[in-house]
Chains A and B, each alone.
Chain A
Amino acid sequence: MKIQSRVHCFGDDIDTDKIIPARYLNTSDPAELARHCLEDEDPTFAGRVRPGEIIVAGENFGCGSSREHAPLAIKAAGVACVIAKSFARIFYRNAINIGLPILECSAIEGVETGHELSVDLERGEITDLTTGRTYRAAPFPPFMKELIAAGGLVNYVRRKLGVDKN
């Protein structure tokens, strides 16, 4: 799958409280969570982000809590893909499990908010169309590719338990 869209950039250590503050965790309704996505980092983000756009961030994206509401909020806000230099491990698992596309790319530099990015999710190829620079994301291990191909962990478990036939 290929994505081409505008970028929103964030720095290092964007924690799950910034992505979705606990004051909104008395619901798990994705639309409601999306309204407050990244609110404590940038209160204007939820209002500005358009479906299909891309987040590019620094190190340790999604550190902190295990709240799945964080990737849910990002996904429901319409973000098509999150690219970060590195991800905190629970966020990484959660994103794959719920089918939010993510790419880990330690080499990504010089991408700025407003740049146009082209991303090939299968190949892990990232091109900054504004600067012409290209980057390659870390490949997923085969098991994770299987999870992603299944559309997330729910479908994977359904198949494994024979609820759905292959």
Chain B
Amino acid sequence: MGMTVTEKILAAHADLPEVVPGQLIMARVDLALANDITAPVAIREFARMGVKEVFDATRIALVPDHFTPNKDISSAEQARLVRDFAREQGIVHYFEVGRMGIEHCLLPEQGLVAPGELIVGADSHTCTYGALGAFATGVGSTDLAAVMATGEIWLRVPETIKFVYTGRLRPWVGGKDLILYTIGRIGVDGARYAAMEFTGPVVHELSMDSRFTMANMAIEAGAKNGIFPVDEKTHAYLAGRIKRPFRVYESDPDARYRQVYEWDVSELTPLVARPHLPENVAPARELREVIIDQVVIGSCPNGRMEDLRIAASLLRGRRVHPRVRLIVIPGTQAIYLEALREGLIEIFIDAGAAVSTPTCGPCLGGHMGILARNERAVATTNRNFVGRMGHPESEVYLAGPAVAAASAVLGRIADPEEVAG
């Protein structure tokens, strides 16, 4: 019986010739990640495990990105705890403010993720790295502590759901629209416990940045991981970033899937997910009456160069609507610098936007753009749960960078065509 790419990576990391869905395995971890919210709990549990040293100081990444630059005294204390632990343990991949980025933009950029690797992170959006053909999944802090202590994790081998995207994408339709469409079709628990395998001619047309966006939101359908095939675009991305050997796995032709969805996405138009679940998907053009107060462009699904370029292309020579606060957050320092050199930052500031140092900040209602009661935001983030960006009676509409930028200009939800003309 053939195996899926996810099954092959798990089997290889459990030293087994094959695995089947439902099987519990003990798997070797190539990289373990935590941030300033999840690491403090992991560090506490690590100490309780009675272990003095982490299993491998080169295989742990600590990225204080959620409440940093420290938003208040408690956050500063949490960030210090992580910093002290990183120093004590000699953690090689600790990223300080000023040299950091949003973890899921940063780790691939820094060459810490390669195809075929197994990555766990105490952050649900760790599934982002599936864009590079890795198995990556989110876990809690105690799981992460156990990985820091032992280098291993128990996993249940997931069933795989295959998504085949065919046709040709229309202008302004990108990775965010494709993943919102997918979640809209299968629901927020449509892939619960499962692997989402993204395939078909359309995925090979997608940039790496769009693939990161899609893999990032696999968790919003309840998935354990999302994974893409490795092609020449992947290799181009990895060139110069990865020097260590890695192995590319592919699904067998006779691999077994729980389900296969095949969708022609040629007619897809830019999408928005209405409050308060990512599955509440509608075309942006049907929501033109929704007046907004804030737009956030950035975060782990959409804080990369492609996103900033798309937003800048719509904001160039235009002004942010007087009613709207536009906050642009490049995903990493390197992206920030590249956007600066390309002139994108100037376009944003000329348009009337605030540009921030990398942080998860507003996405989770942390800081840098909290919403007041009854306020409404369009955001390129990944969750629109109740109270996600601030007051429990505020609202978040999820979209890609094109809809977000167009909405910032018109002061209401807009299809990019309305601005681009």
Residues of A within 8 A of B (CB): 13, 15, 17-18, 21-23, 25-28, 39-41, 59-60, 63-69, 71-72, 86, 88-90, 93-94, 97-98, 141, 143, 152-154, 156-158, 160-161, 163-164
CB <8 Å contact, A26 and B78: yes
12 inter-chain pairs at a CB distance below 8 angstroms, sorted by A residue, are A13-B277, A22-B37, A27-B78, A28-B44, A40-B386, A88-B189, A94-B141, A98-B140, A153-B143, A157-B150, A160-B150, A161-B51
The B384-411 residues at the A interface (CB cut-off 8 A) are: 385-388, 392
CB distance from A3 to the nearest CB of B (A): 23
Q: Which residues of B contact A67 (CB under 8 A)?
A: 37-38, 140
Q: Which residues of A contact B392 (CB under 8 A)?
A: 21, 39-40
Q: Which residues of A contact B219 (CB under 8 A)?
A: 64
Q: Which residues of A contact B192 (CB under 8 A)?
A: 60, 86, 88-89
Contact of B385 among A18, A60, A90 (CB under 8 A): A18
CB <8 Å contact, B385 and A17: yes
A98 and B188 in contact, given A22-B364, A67-B37, A157-B49 (Cβ under 8 angstroms): no
CB <8 Å contact, B387 and A94: no
Stretch at the interface among B68-76, B230-238, B316-324: B68-76
Complex-state Cα separation, A5 to B383, whole angstroms: 34
CB <8 Å contact, B139 and A66: yes
CB <8 Å contact, A153 and B146: yes
Which chain B residue shows the least CB distance to A41?
B386
A69 and B142 in contact, given A13-B188, A60-B222 (Cβ under 8 angstroms): no
CB <8 Å contact, A141 and B24: yes
| B421 interfacial by beta-carbon distance below 8 Å | no
CB <8 Å contact, B49 and A93: no
| B124 interfacial by beta-carbon distance below 8 Å | yes
Which chain B residue shows the least CB distance to A22?
B364
CB <8 Å contact, B140 and A97: yes
Q: Could you say which interface size class chain B belongs to?
A: 35 or more
CB <8 Å contact, A153 and B385: no
CB <8 Å contact, A93 and B140: yes
CB distance from A165 to the nearest CB of B (A): 12
Known: A60-B188, A60-B222, A64-B219. 10 other contacts (CB 8 A): A18-B387, A25-B66, A26-B75, A40-B386, A66-B139, A90-B124, A93-B143, A97-B143, A97-B146, A157-B49
CB distance from B42 to the nearest CB of A (A): 8
CB distance from B158 to the nearest CB of A (A): 9
Contact of B51 among A15, A63, A71, A163 (CB under 8 A): A163
CB <8 Å contact, B41 and A68: yes
Contact of A22 among B24, B49, B143, B366 (CB under 8 A): B366
Complex-state Cα separation, A158 to B122, whole angstroms: 20
CB <8 Å contact, B222 and A153: no
The B21-46 residues at the A interface (CB cut-off 8 A) are: 24, 37-38, 40-41, 44-45
Complex-state Cα separation, A110 to B149, whole angstroms: 44
Q: Which residues of B contact A97 (CB under 8 A)?
A: 140, 142-143, 146
